Amino acid sequence: MSPKPSPLHVSILRHDWSVEEIQAILDLPFTDLMFRAQTAHRLYFDPNRVQVSTLLSIKTGACPEDCGYCAQSARHETGLERESLMPIDEVLDAARIAREQGATRFCMGAAWRNPTDKNLEQVIAMVEGVHALGLETCVTLGMLTGAQARRLKEAGLDYYNHNLDTSPEFYGQVITTRTFQDRLDTLEHIRDVGLKTCSGGILGMGESRRDRASMLRQLANLPAHPESVPINLLVRVEGTPLQASETLDPFEFVRVVAVARILMPTSYVRLSAGRSEMSDELQALCYLAGANSIFYGDRLLTTPNAESDLDRALFARLGLAFEEMDPERTEPGACHKAKQALDAIVEH
């Protein structure tokens, strides 16, 4: 019998995971999995601080892609009202409100297959305006060329979001208008110019546990772990091909959050879409499993999000606090990592 791995063993940053290794962690007894995830979490983060981002849809609907979960695809009859690119002053007003409510990062999403160069310049003006408000900036605009990624980096963008969505094996069941490799290529362009990466996936689309392990492997084996890893629970939007997907076992969702934390211990693991359908108890388990970032605000692009007041009430009950922006405007949370690591080892 192989020796039981030390809890600290899980904190070593690796990029060579096999699907079998990851599935073995996913299969652990729940309490063992939670212990390992919590141990990994405490090595790099204050476990009682949660980073808060706000997401704004700056261009809504009429997307030519066919992502099976998405209300914004022009190919699905979801009744979503299309909106063209928002004026910059409205975007900046929304960013100011987000900052007042405690957000440290402002994410802007546009439903494009890819931005044209003209679109990109319009978004860059927004990025510069949000940056000037003292917020971190993130955009999600679809596929990017290397030159576009460079332009965004030069304009001062902090993060680019581009999700892998699911495993390479299951991907074709969800999207046919772009390939898994297209997604990896965009992530490579982002990384190559030094932008921070936000990339994760969606659970509950009918994928198997092995698919979940395979998706996590893709993320963990990237040359650098994404700084931010959103784990989404499918929101079953009427009119989309995935509207009748089976409900995912909530413990399975928590397991995936825990494994993401173990594989990518220095990344922010974010609870994203689907949080409005989660009970307080389920969200608390996700925080215990190592989730330390949320979207805050009443809407996520086009689907409902947990209400801000409910978040504040839950945080108060759990003794959690919003992570504040580092005064030097570097990474939130970076300052306490080493101290917390030592404390965690002594405590356990």
Which one from 36, 42, 49, 67 is the annotated catalytic residue?
A: 67
CB of 48 to ligand SF4, least distance (A): 33
Does position 272 interact with ligand SF4 (CB under 6 A)? The reply is no
CA dist., res. 141 & res. 25, Å (int): 34
Mark whether 335 is an active-site residue: no
Footprint (CB under 6 A) of ligand SF4, residues 129-168: 142
- 3-state class percentages of the chain: helix first, strand second, coil last, to nearest 5: 40, 15, 45
Spatial contact of 240 and 212, defined as CB atoms under 8 Å apart: no
How far is Cα 219 from Cα 229, in angstroms, rounded to an integer? 8
Per-residue contact flags (x/-) with ligand SF4 for residues 48 to 77, judged by CB under 6 A: ---------------x-x-x--x-xx----
Q: What is the closest distance, in whole angstroms, from the C-beta atom of residue 158 to ligand SF4 in the complex?
A: 20
The tokens describing 224, both together, are: 């650098």
Strands 303-304 and 268-271, by their bridges, are unpaired
Q: Which C-beta is closer to ligand SF4: that of 232 or that of 292?
A: 232
Shortest Å distance, C-beta 51 to ligand SF4: 23
Locate 294 and state its tokens. Answer: 């949320």
Considering beta carbons, is residue 109 or 297 the nearer one to ligand SF4? 109
Closest approach, Cβ 73 to ligand SF4, in A, equals: 4
**Do 273 and 235 touch, CB atoms closer than 8 A?**
yes
Give how far the C-alpha of residue 341 lies from the chain's centroid of Cα atoms, to the nearest Å.
Answer: 24
67 annotated as ligand-binding: yes
- Give backbone dihedrals phi and psi of 316, rounded to 5 degrees, phi first: -65, -40
Token pair recorded at residue 27: 């299969």
Q: Which amino acid is at 42?
A: R
* CA-based R_g, the chain, Å: 19
3-state SS assignment for residue 150? helix
Residues 326 to 345: which contact ligand SF4 by CB under 6 A?
none
- Name the active-site residue from 36, 105, 151, 198: 198
Query: Which of 36, 42, 105, 107 is an active site residue?
Result: 107
What torsion, rounded to 10 degrees, do the Cα atoms 215, 265, 304, 279 define? 100
Q: How far is the CB of 180 from ligand SF4 (least distance, A)?
A: 14
Establish whether 96 is an annotated binding residue.
Answer: no
* Encoded tokens for 59: 């261009």
User: How far apart, in whole angstroms, are the C-alpha atoms of residue 210 and residue 198?
Assistant: 23
Q: Does 335 carry a binding-site annotation?
A: no
Looking only at residues 72 through 111 of this chain, which bind ligand SF4 when binding is defined by CB under 6 A?
72-73, 111
# residues near ligand SF4 by CB under 6 A: 8
Asked if 286 is an active-site residue, the reply is: no
> Is 70 an active-site residue?
yes
Tell me whether residue 60 or residue 340 sits nearer to ligand SF4 (CB atom). 60
In the complex, least distance from residue 235 CB atom to ligand SF4, rounded to whole angstroms: 12
* C-alpha to C-alpha distance for 19 and 216, rounded to whole angstroms: 8
Residues of the binding site: 63, 67, 70, 107, 138, 198, 270
Residues of the binding site for [4Fe-4S] cluster: 63, 67, 70
Residues that bind ligand SF4 (CB under 6 A): 63, 65, 67, 70, 72-73, 111, 142
Q: Among all residues, which ones are annotated catalytic?
A: 63, 67, 70, 107, 138, 198, 270
